[in-house]
A and B are shown apart, each in its own frame.
Chain A
Amino acid sequence: MGTFPRHRLAAVALAATGVLLVTSGCGGGDEAAGDGKITLTVDVFGQFGYEQLYQQYMDANPNIKIVERGTGGNLDEYSPKLTQWLAAGKGAGDVVAIEEGLMVEYKANPDNFVNLLDHGAADLKGNFLEWKWNQGLTADGQKLIGLGTDVGGMAMCYRTDLFEKAGLPTDREQVSALWPTWEDYIATGEKFKAANTGASFLDAATNTFNTIVLQTAGNAQGYHYYDTSDNLVVDTNPAVKQAWDITMNIVNAGLSGKYGSWSEEWVSAFKQAKFATIACPAWMTGVIEGNAGPEAKGKWDIARVPGNGGNWGGSHLAVPQQSKHQDEAVKLVKFLTSAEGHIGAFKAKGPLPSSPQALDDPAITEATNAYFSDAPVGKIFGEGAKTLKPVYMGPKNQAVRTEVENAVRTVELGQRSPDQGWQDAINNAKKAAAK
């Protein structure tokens, strides 16, 4: 082989390496649309119900193009992705959704986000329930990370066909009257179980536990795993133990179908009508509709939640500091979190507004949901929303909650006795909080 071709080969190889380096170094740049429009990317999870609002916004602002990522996704998969994007300084959308349980962790590093107070958001304070507004605010009150979207007012969703089969009433008023307390709920469950419908009374004890603990904590001191000084109080807070004991009664009565929440099996169980009730924060209605599918339309209905009130979930919209179109993104956030935005989202997928003006709007108060046998969802969920007692969430809330719910799961599956499970919950929660 002569000298020349060998050199040429080396040159080609080097050139190829160079190209690789260049492309790897410059990937993920600004994806400007060819027509001079500004593209805003919105990252969400679950069902926010923004599609029509985007269209409306794009019609009013012809220079903006909105792309959404993540609808239908699981929060468990969304939040690590968002964290990685923030840590890498690249990849996050111009607008990102932050769930309340994770807000604390993101708030601890507020520099990752645009301070909305610098963009005139202070005037909007009256548009939100006070605690919802405060959730988006850093501890020193100097920075506003996010504006509120929804709150998770609580109800109990149930399948009328299974209730009928079990000889229970199906009318939502009568069903609500069956369970003023969780003890009554368990008693109803035992009746349901005795009727041998082939279905379980509820989906999984984990979701129910979370519902109960947010309720007991909200009705007591207003905190569950952490007290308001950020001390871990899992083992000493009576609200947590009370919720645990109620959940154990549900498990011991054999009412749970043990379908691990958000798993494939859980989704299959929806499809095959394998359980009759599910604890139902407002945003869950969209999830039920998505999982149970159109063939179950009219077979679901909504009753009051046992116990009293409670709030589970709800999110904020934030603008990451890394966004290249911060001004435009903030404007979009303001639009989506306006009363109009809240009402539009509610109509589309059911998340309950955190804006008092929206909650009073006839569009909400008179809203019904055809999928849930025309239940007056606006009335059911909206009623308690303004008097909701929020629960304080501490720094490692998500990790601690995971451990406690996991302990519930081990008892439900028969891997641990209730006492062992409670010990696990405490030990693992402490370990998680220390990490």
Chain B
Amino acid sequence: MVEIQNANPTVLDVSQLPSRSRKSATVRSGPDSKCDSILYPKRPWLSSTSSSSDEEDEYEEEPVDEQDIYDLIATISDPEHPTTLGQLSVVRLPDIHLAPPPTERLGPNSLVTVAVELTPTVNHCSLATVIGLAVRCRLEQTLPPNYRVDVTMKDGSHAQDDQVNKQLGDKERVAAALENDTLRKMLDDMLKTCSM
């Protein structure tokens, strides 16, 4: 058994993590709200053609933004603990940057850079590279080809952030690392908890 790097990290509750607040108004929950679905229907009665406003909301066009990226990587499991990177604050919403920002994007083929800065739970964490690799893998598997992924350690968060950043930035070393069966298996385990 490898020595545990940080045996007792701070873990956030899932409800505390940043999430996309639903547009729909708060749903009433009191004892008197049982028949709300009948009394305040979403779509007009007897309507055959118009789709409900909810459905149209759900299918509205919304470009990939920081929260999307966060949702993709926050659910990756930590290699040491049975919690996610989001809960451990290794991945944090303010440390995700898109360039150009979602509002200014031009066409579907314009190049977008995703910069993710990770904050290891302890600054000597030897698993930082693995975590970085997992984040990189996850994003490359789920983002379209016009997105360039750049994963780094946040400045000063890791004793050897230069080294780690260099490894994560080096395409060939990344490719070589992914050939390693043990590492591959570890990454697969970490990504298992990610939903689509």
A and B associate: no
